[in-house]
Structure 1
């Protein structure tokens, strides 16, 4: 996600390319957030007790903020100063959120569940990202089982919209390798 944001910024002055990288970024963030809400946060609540519940609730609030702001981007034109400013704000928030998860959430969870269960959760997270919504849905529930159900209902509609969405071309991706 950070690379996509970097590519968005490097494409300054090329609105088409910025739109493609922004779409890729939003696609990745939406899938990642729902995957965490379905897989990681329930594990935190189950294995870390009250502290896990508190951390998961804080993370869900961060996700809600991001979803609401990504949703606002849908009504804006990529590459404009307003769009870029809001995207910068979202990325600053995500950077703090991700750092907090990596420092405060995942180490105690991995310690509690052990390496094998951690690898299993990571594989489940990766699989889940294939089936979840690819767009922000700020009004959707953010806790299973309702989040899971609504997500699986929204995913096909999102995937249909993706067919008509411009994403980075293979040439654009190769240029950044």
Structure 2
């Protein structure tokens, strides 16, 4: 599977969630609107997506492009900001003002980050690598997503080697907690490429 196709489907799923969450109800109305479930889906999807990008995609960008370090550093900085906002959502409750501020800030930041990737990084990356490399990277992303963390972990340094080692322990703990709490049922499906 082509890496950019896989990531594009992931982005499409997240953009759909962002569309629903943009301007979501606050106060008492948010507690009965299903907002908490939708945000849980977003946290899971985004946590997995960013983890696999940091493990595989950004190192590939660094290797393939002369300005890969600059592009990857900017993207990872955006992702870290997003993780901190997702953690704020986890740490607060639906209906609280801080929750809704963090949610709206995340919606805006995620849209900016997705646009940056798709418009600035992907065209350069696609021009620099072979179809075979895209396919191999796509397979790595697809396999990694199945076992990726389901929480943001903003304090974990976004270093590929750490994410592939310590991150795997963290991901295992996330998956066990998800199973024990019933959160696993809210895990959004992986993109299906035909």
> Under a length normalisation based on structure 1, what TM-score does the superposition of the two structures give?
0.85
- Among candidates 34, 39, 44, match of residue 51 of structure 2: 34
- Among candidates 29, 41, 51, match of residue 24 of structure 1: 41
Unaligned regions of 5+ residues in structure 2, if any?
1-13, 188-194
Greater relative contact order: 1 or 2 (C-alpha under 8 angstroms, separation 6 or more)?
2
- Among candidates 122, 141, 150, match of residue 106 of structure 1: 122
- Among candidates 170, 174, 177, match of residue 154 of structure 1: 170
Question: 3-state DSSP class of the match of 2:156?
Answer: coil
Distance 1:132 1:109 in 2: 23
Check whether the contact 1:18–1:79 (CA below 8 A) recurs between aligned residues: no
Alignment length, in residue pairs? Answer: 168
How far residue 123 of structure 1 moved from its aligned partner, in angstroms, is: 2.5
Q: What residue in structure 1 maps to residue 18 of structure 2?
A: 5
Distance 2:17 2:94 in 1: 14
After superposition, the Cα gap between the structure-2 partners of 1:15 and 1:8, relative to the gap in structure 1 and judged at 3 Å, is farther
Q: What residue in structure 2 maps to residue 62 of structure 1?
A: 78
Distance 2:100 2:23 in 1: 12
How far residue 146 of structure 1 moved from its aligned partner, in angstroms, is: 1.5
- Among candidates 80, 87, 105, match of residue 103 of structure 2: 87
How far residue 81 of structure 1 moved from its aligned partner, in angstroms, is: 3.8
How far residue 151 of structure 1 moved from its aligned partner, in angstroms, is: 1.1
* Deviation sequence 1:23-69 (CA, Å, 0-9, x none): 010000000001100111010111113x1011111111111111111
Q: What residue in structure 2 maps to residue 174 of structure 1?
A: none
Q: What residue in structure 2 maps to residue 137 of structure 1?
A: 153
After superposition, the Cα gap between the structure-2 partners of 1:9 and 1:118, relative to the gap in structure 1 and judged at 3 Å, is same
Moved more, 58-67 or 143-152: 143-152
Check whether the contact 2:84–2:152 (CA below 8 A) recurs between aligned residues: yes
Question: 3-state DSSP class of the match of 2:146?
Answer: coil
Q: What residue in structure 1 maps to residue 4 of structure 2?
A: none
Check whether the contact 1:64–1:138 (CA below 8 A) recurs between aligned residues: yes
After superposition, the Cα gap between the structure-2 partners of 1:33 and 1:7, relative to the gap in structure 1 and judged at 3 Å, is same
Distance 1:87 1:119 in 2: 34
Q: What residue in structure 2 maps to residue 48 of structure 1?
A: 65
